[in-house]
């Protein structure tokens, strides 16, 4: 009998897998590549909501756990996927400058927001009101992480490249049986695919489609991320990731003309040089209506658990939430109320 079946191999599933293996637990991971949101994500991480200069929920705790775990994976797999890079918030007015200074003075934000504005001039970008510098930032090459980790799991025979069939679960008092696998627990970390899961599809996973471009711009000489109405992330060889859009109606992973036009229009408001579009991606982020993740145990089937709803901040959230769920299952620790799916069931019973 194994400890965990893990369904899904995005940031959440990989984080849970690594935490379980570190604790000498036995696992098998199911991956059918049906939910590409982790793979096409920008991969940026920063501890501040730059639209309104407020701290990301539990930012310090997330950073303190996530990056030792990622760096352990890097060392184990002999691959580099974490790249530290400054994020500069392009300030649009004197009022935004003042708001930045006020935020940088707050005790919870001062470690993350630099109180000295960046006055450097970047070619092809007009910035009369300078930039605010965010600390503790960078990006993960999520494709490289997932590809390397799945190869590692495949090499030690812990990966099943197949669609998980919910109808094959058989329940017993202390375990479940799935086909020829006997396991104590199943972790569902399926992203937007949760909508097809008959055990958790009543949870309020909304899903927000995002689209990204990769552009080539030879005259855009950036060694930092510029954040304005979109972000511009240098990835080498004059290539840049540009994103992202937010569409709450379209639940497909297909790139659209409308998404491309929106990104191009916003990009042209920031840069004045020529560029060409090299690639265009789309994917549905697993977002939740109350903006909090979905973590916890099924109220009736105690061997089934969910790890989902990471939204746009999966890089920082994935390891932190995976650790919480692991501790909840193995050591009986109480989940934080903001993330526990109990809140959703309470709400539905009260309606």
pLDDT one digit per residue (tens) for the chain, 351 residues: 999 999 999 999 999 999 999 999 999 999 987 655 555 677 999 999 998 899 999 999 999 999 999 999 999 999 999 999 999 999 999 999 999 999 999 999 999 999 999 999 999 999 999 999 999 999 999 999 999 999 999 999 999 999 999 999 999 999 999 999 999 999 999 999 999 999 999 999 988 999 999 999 999 999 999 999 999 999 999 999 999 999 989 989 899 999 999 999 999 999 999 999 999 999 888 899 888 999 999 999 999 999 999 988 999 999 999 999 999 999 999 999 999 999 998 655 444
Instruction: Count CB atoms within 10 A of the CB of residue 79.
Output: 16
Task: Give dist(CA 42, CA 240) in Å, integer.
Answer: 10
What per-residue confidence (pLDDT) applies to 95?
96
What per-residue confidence (pLDDT) applies to 40?
62
Domains annotated for the chain, with CATH where assigned, are 2-46+143-203+289-350 (3.50.50.60), 86-136 (no CATH), 208-285 (3.30.9.10)
Task: Give dist(CA 171, CA 178) in Å, integer.
Answer: 9
What per-residue confidence (pLDDT) applies to 34?
67
Radius of gyration of the chain (CA): 21
What per-residue confidence (pLDDT) applies to 351?
47
Q: Is 104 helix (H, G, I), strand (E, B) or coil?
A: helix
Contact indicator for 212, 142 with CB cutoff of 8 Å: no
Contacts of 42 (CB under 8 A, 6+ apart): 139, 212, 231, 233, 241, 243, 244
What per-residue confidence (pLDDT) applies to 42?
79
- Helices 59-77 and 142-155 cross at an angle (nearest 10°) of 50
* Biggest CA pair distance of the chain: 66
For residue 292, give the nearest of 343, 238, 255 by alpha carbon: 343
């Amino acid at each position: 009998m194994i400890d965990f079946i893990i369904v899904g191999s995005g940031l959440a599933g990989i984080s849970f897998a690594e935490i379980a293996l570190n604790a000498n637990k036995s696992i098998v991971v199911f991956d059918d590549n049906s939910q590409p949101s982790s793979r096409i994500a920008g991969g940026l991480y920063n501890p501040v909501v730059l639209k309104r200069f407020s701290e990301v929920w539990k930012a310090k705790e997330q950073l303190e756990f996530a990056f030792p775990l990622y760096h352990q994976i890097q060392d184990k797999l002999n691959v580099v996927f974490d790249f530290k890079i400054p994020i500069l918030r392009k300030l649009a007015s004197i009022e935004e400058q003042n708001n930045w200074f006020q935020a940088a003075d707050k005790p919870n934000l001062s470690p993350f927001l630099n109180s000295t504005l960046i006055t450097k001039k970047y070619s092809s970008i007009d910035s009369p009101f300078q930039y605010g510098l965010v600390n503790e930032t960078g990006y993960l090459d999520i494709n490289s992480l997932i590809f390397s980790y799945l190869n590692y799991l495949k090499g030690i025979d812990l990966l099943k490249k197949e669609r998980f069939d919910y109808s094959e679960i058989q329940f017993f008092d202390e375990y479940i049986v799935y086909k020829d696998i006997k396991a104590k627990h199943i972790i569902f970390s399926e992203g937007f695919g949760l909508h097809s899961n008959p055990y958790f599809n009543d949870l309020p996973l909304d899903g927000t489609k995002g689209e990204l471009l990769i552009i080539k711009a030879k005259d855009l000489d950036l060694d930092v991320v510029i954040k304005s109405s979109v972000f511009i992330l240098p990835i080498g060889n004059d290539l840049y990731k540009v994103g992202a859009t937010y569409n709450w109606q379209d639940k497909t992973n297909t790139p659209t003309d409308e998404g491309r036009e929106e990104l191009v229009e916003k990009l042209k408001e920031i840069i004045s040089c020529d560029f060409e579009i090299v690639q265009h991606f789309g994917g549905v982020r697993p977002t939740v209506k109350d903006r909090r993740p979905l973590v916890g145990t099924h109220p009736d089937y105690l061997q089934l658990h969910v790890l989902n709803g990471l939204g746009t901040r999966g890089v920082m959230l994935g390891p932190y939430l995976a650790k919480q769920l692991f501790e909840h299952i193995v050591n009986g620790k109480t989940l934080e109320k903001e993330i526990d799916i109990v809140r959703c069931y309470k709400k539905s019973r009260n309606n």
